[in-house]
Amino acid sequence: MGSLKVEDYMTRDVITVSATDTVRDVISLIKNTKHDGFPVVKQGKIIGYVSSIDILLCDQQVKVADIMSVNLVVARRDMDLFDAARVLFRSESKKLPVIDDNDTVVGIISNTDVIRSQIERATPDKVWKLMRTLRTIHKVQVEEHFDKVSINGLVPTQSKIFADELEGRRYELEKGLAEPLIVVKKRDKTLLVDGHHRAVAAQRLKLEEIDAYIITMDRDVPLGMERTARNTGLKSLADIEILESATHPLIEITRRRGSRNV
């Protein structure tokens, strides 16, 4: 994370409130945006922060100026993301307003953004491993680039997915936390290698495109995953079986079963 900066992952379109807004206004914003707090600004400059905790038990006509926090922890856009993560942890904050030298709010960085940075950094290892495998087994030259791919044009290579994990991936997509897919682009098809739950979740969300690492080869060679897809009748995401009753192994090993008899 050392080379990553706050500006690489911060949200730039920041929703703010003014000191003259009321608790009612803040409640409305929380309902409409699902955010739990907002920088308080005056002429673009930060003067405070109001959170869902601040408005608890307050009359709805109370002004933001009367309840906002004014002793703030903030970040700068050129701050190392690792340092921002440590500040979030130590200050027990969920979000840090990002300001410039004039105290103008230019973004906001959250613990969710930090998690997303780590998820995205994990994916390239899978890409490089697949590229090495293709080079070794098929003696081809491979290249990769990052772009969006059409969801409906994907050919799956995995016949079954878990319903519970599918819901988790849907949540991640809605929150902007999902890893990119890994696909192999051939002359007449795009093979989905990694990210079947994400792809189906995106399709259910009616997304047309999704981020992906796209691997291409210098010549068209038959791949084992391609043969597997053909033998199991996989032509589109609609052919994937969703296991409604089964529980994903990762969920199963992390689940604690309690008892009411204590």
The CATH number of residue 244's host domain is 3.90.1530.10
CB 84 within 8 A of CB 96: yes
Q: At 119, list the tokens.
A: 């998820």
When divided into structural domains, the chain yields a total of 2
Task: Please tell me whether residues 93 and 174 are part of one structural domain.
Answer: no
Q: Does residue 259 sit within a domain? A: no
CATH number at residue 105: 3.10.580.10
Q: Does residue 126 sit within a domain? A: no
Q: Does residue 66 sit within a domain? A: yes
Q: Does residue 214 sit within a domain? A: yes
Task: Please tell me whether residues 97 and 147 are part of one structural domain.
Answer: no
Q: Does residue 130 sit within a domain? A: no
Q: Which domain holds residue 65?
A: 6-113
CB 131 within 8 A of CB 138: no
pLDDT digits (tens), the chain, 262 positions: 447 899 988 999 999 999 999 999 999 999 999 899 999 999 999 999 999 999 999 999 999 999 999 999 999 999 999 899 989 988 888 899 999 999 999 999 998 888 877 766 656 788 999 999 999 999 999 999 999 999 999 999 999 998 888 888 888 888 777 788 999 999 889 999 999 999 999 999 999 999 999 999 999 999 999 998 999 999 999 999 999 865 555 444 444 454 445 4
Q: Does residue 125 sit within a domain? A: no
Domain end, chosen from 68, 96, 113, is at: 113
Question: What are the Cα distances from residue 175, in Å, to 35, 113, 168, 169, 178?
Answer: 11, 10, 11, 10, 8
Task: Please tell me whether residues 88 and 175 are part of one structural domain.
Answer: no
- Distance between CA atoms of residues 8 and 51, nearest Å: 25
Q: Does residue 72 sit within a domain? A: yes
Q: At 17, list the tokens.
A: 């409130």
- Distance between CA atoms of residues 72 and 91, nearest Å: 10
Task: Please tell me whether residues 79 and 162 are part of one structural domain.
Answer: no
3-state secondary structure the chain: CCCCEHHHHCECCCCCECCCCEHHHHHHHHHHHCCCEEEEEECCEEEEEEECCCCCCCCCCCEHHHCCECCCCCEECCCEHHHHHHHHHHHCCCEEEEECCCCEEEEEEEHHHHHHHHHHHHHHHHHHHHHHHHHHHHCCCEEEEEEEEECCCEEECCCEEEHHHHHHHHHHHHHCCCCCEEEEECCCCEEEEECHHHHHHHHHCCCCEEEEEEEEECCCCCCHHHHHHHHCCCCCHHHCEEECCCCCHHHHHHCCCCCCCC
pTM above 0.85, yes or no: no
Task: Please tell me whether residues 67 and 105 are part of one structural domain.
Answer: yes
Q: Does residue 119 sit within a domain? A: no
- Measured in degrees and rounded to the nearest 5, phi and psi for residue 139 equal 55, 45
